Amino acid sequence: MSLFSKLLKKKETPPRSYADFWNWFRQHEKHFFNTVQTRQNIHAVFFDPMSAQLQHLKDGYFFLVGMSASGVADMIFTADGNLKNIVFVEELVAAAPSLSGWQFSALKPSLDIENVNIEMGGLQFNKDNLFFHAMQDPAYPDEIDITLVYTTWAEVDRDTIINGAYIFLDNYLGELDFATTIDNLTITGPSGITQELIPVEKLKSYLTWRQKEFLEKYEGLRHDTNEDVYSLFEATIEDRYPLLATINETLLQWDEKASHPWMCNILFRYDGSANNGLPGSEDYELLNTIEDEITALLKDNEGYLNIGRETGKDEKELFFACRDFREPSKVFYNIQNKYADRFSIKYALYKDKYWKHLERYHKSRTL
């Protein structure tokens, strides 16, 4: 066993911050560089200790590494397309030190179409067999709805084709743009397609144009909720459990919903067995305190709108519509950790420009 391997096996203090991680990396970077350069025992000497340190820091960090033509170790940290982790990857790389011989990047970059050729399950995915067309719905004019067409589609290969197409787009568009610019994506074959098909190499410029148009349309738009009107909804689910909801009715009628296109929801599970699925007094008070804590961090005038809450059957869920997903990612993650001993907490982030997830709360509908 080498001296370096013995050193790595010694018990090291787990990192508690980005600075801790990079201080650890700096201590070993010369050994890491030599290993990446030679590719000798790279898993044991580089990948395994790196993965372990990142795991201590937070779940969801992935990385790629290789030597560039100029002899620099090029390391890309990635969230593997998971929106919840994108901000943490960006912050980790932003905190990276300047080290001779190393280059650190956040999220997989976009590639030139000529350099994207994916092989999976015996199938090829490239500019010669992928085309697209864009759907337009007058009711939802700001949505970017893309149908990607694989010209040699075979139903027996459906899963392989869909996976291969996703990997192709992730490489061609880049991790961030693929995760954030397309609202709806359908992958299919040419059968039944009546629209004119566009070469996939033009998809990047199409998305850039649509995104620029969207940002210009809603640039700087904010909503002050101080004078808003709220509605109380009551229902019974499974013919037994009461369901209570308080929803900002003014926001539901707002005609600028798309300016806050990210739906960011956080759900708390509690024991409501003694109250027919509703929280007891102690949980009720704490859940309200947590909601106040969240809304103090996610302010409406900064682009985070608390649309309302829904409580029943051992769960309370808060609904936020946001201009961006990064700050809610951090706030919800910290809340999840802070109150893990009291509640089971989950959160979701997804693009929903027209808040379709909340359409059931329009007055013309029933809860």
Per-residue pLDDT tens digits for 316-359: 999 999 999 999 999 999 999 999 999 999 999 999 999 999 98
Give, to the nearest 10 degrees, the angle between helix 18-38 and helix 48-57: 160
The pLDDT score that the predictor gives to residue 313 is: 95
pLDDT at 215 over 70: yes
Which one-letter DSSP state was computed for residue 83?
H
The three-class DSSP label of residue 300 is helix
pLDDT at 303 over 60: yes
Confidence of residue 137 (pLDDT cuts 50, 70, 90): very high
Residue 192 zone, left/alpha/beta (φ > 0; ψ -120 to 50; rest): left
Q: CA 43, CA 50: separation in Å to the nearest integer?
A: 9
Range of lowest pLDDT (33-42, 200-209, 213-222, 258-267): 213-222
Helix ranges (H only) for 203-306 are 203-218, 249-252, 281-297
The pLDDT score that the predictor gives to residue 4 is: 46
Which domains can be identified in the chain, with CATH numbers? 3-106 (no CATH), 113-218 (no CATH), 230-361 (3.30.70)
pLDDT at 60 over 90: yes
Residue 139: burial class (beta carbons within 10 Å; 0-12, 13-18, 19+): exposed
The β-bridge partners of 349 are: 264
Confidence of residue 13 (pLDDT cuts 50, 70, 90): confident
8 A C-beta contact, residue 89 and residue 104: no
Kindly report, residue by residue over 172-197, the tens digit of the pLDDT: 999 999 999 999 999 999 999 999 99
- Percentage, residues of the chain above pLDDT 90: 90
The pLDDT score that the predictor gives to residue 366 is: 46
SS (H, E, C) 4-66: HHHHHHCCCCCCCCHHHHHHHHHHHHHHHHHHHHHCCCHHHHHHHHHHHHHHHHCCCCEEEEE
Q: CA 110, CA 19: separation in Å to the nearest integer?
A: 28
pLDDT at 3 over 70: no
The pLDDT score that the predictor gives to residue 11 is: 64
pLDDT at 367 over 90: no
pLDDT at 363 over 70: no
The pLDDT score that the predictor gives to residue 176 is: 97
